[in-house]
Amino acid sequence: MSLRWLYLAVLGPLVLLATLAWWGTRVQIKAAWTDARDNAELLAPQLAQSLTAEIASSFRLIPIYPHPPSPGPTSPQEEHLQSDDLDVLNALRDDEDAGTSASGLPLRALAALRIEALFPNTQDRQSLIQLLTESAPSALTAPALTQLGTTTEVQSNWRRDEEIRRQTQPLPANIWSILPPAIHTLPSEATPPVGLARRTENHIEFFSSEQVREWLQTLQPPLSPGLQVAVLAAGNLSNPSPDGRSLATAKLGREIPLLLEVRALPERLEASLRRQQRWTLALLAGAMATAGIALFTIHRTVARERRLAELKSQFVSSVSHELRAPLGSIRLMAEALQQGKVAHPSEFHTLIAREGARLSHLIENVLDFARIEDGRKRYRMEETDLTALIHAAIDLLRPQAKERQVTFESRLPELVVSVDPAAWQQAMINLLDNALKFSPEGGIVRVSAHQIPAPPSLSIAITDQGPGIPKDDHAIIFERFHRLGNELRRETQGAGIGLSIVKHIVEAHGGAIHIDSQPGHGCTFTLILPLTAHRGSPTPSPCAS
For residue 285, give every residue at least 6 positions away whose Cβ sits within 8 Å of its Cβ, in sequence order, or none.
18
Q: How far apart are CA 208 and CA 231, in angstroms?
A: 12
Q: How far apart are CA 524 and CA 177, in angstroms?
A: 102
Q: How many helices (H) and strands (E) does the chain have?
A: 13, 15
- Write the DSSP symbol of residue 467: S
Q: What is the pLDDT of residue 393?
A: 86
Instruction: Let me know if domain 279-377 sits in CATH 1.10.287.130.
Output: yes
Angstrom distances, CA of residue 25 to CA of 54, 226, 273, 289: 41, 17, 7, 22
Q: What is the pLDDT of residue 244?
A: 59
Cβ atoms of residues 529 and 417 within 8 Å: yes
Q: How far apart are CA 431 and CA 438, in angstroms?
A: 11
Q: How far apart are CA 213 and CA 263, in angstroms?
A: 16
Angle between helices 271-338 and 345-374 (to 10 degrees): 160
Q: What is the pLDDT of residue 73?
A: 76
Cα 467 to its chain centre, rounded Å, is 51
Task: Return the C-alpha torsion angle 146, 149, 153, 156, nearest 10.
Answer: 0
pLDDT digits (tens, 9 = 90+) for 143-166: 888 778 777 878 887 888 888 888
- HEC assignment per residue over 307-369: HHHHHHHHHHHHHHHHHHHHHHHHHHHHHHHHCCCCCCHHHHHHHHHHHHHHHHHHHHHHHHH
Q: How far apart are CA 412 and CA 392, in angstroms?
A: 13
Q: What is the pLDDT of residue 543?
A: 36
Q: What is the pLDDT of residue 524?
A: 92
Q: Which fold has domain 378-544?
A: Heat Shock Protein 90 (3.30.565)
pLDDT digits (tens, 9 = 90+) for 272-323: 777 777 787 788 788 778 877 877 788 788 888 887 777 677 666 656 655 6
Q: What is the pLDDT of residue 462?
A: 93
Task: Quote the pTM value.
Answer: 0.46
The count of residues in the chain is: 545
Angstrom distances, CA of residue 187 to CA of 111, 156, 184, 388: 31, 8, 10, 110
- For the chain, residues with pLDDT lower than 70 are 1-4, 6-7, 10, 67-68, 138, 181-193, 220-222, 235-244, 311, 314-326, 329, 342-344, 347-348, 351, 354-355, 357-359, 361-362, 365-376, 480-496, 532-545
Q: What is the pLDDT of residue 182?
A: 47
Q: What is the pLDDT of residue 533?
A: 43
Structural domain boundaries of the chain? 279-377, 378-544
Other C-beta atoms lying within 10 Å of the C-beta of residue 19: 11
Tell the burial category of 273 from Cβ atoms under 10 Å away from its Cβ (0-12, 13-18, 19+). Answer: middle
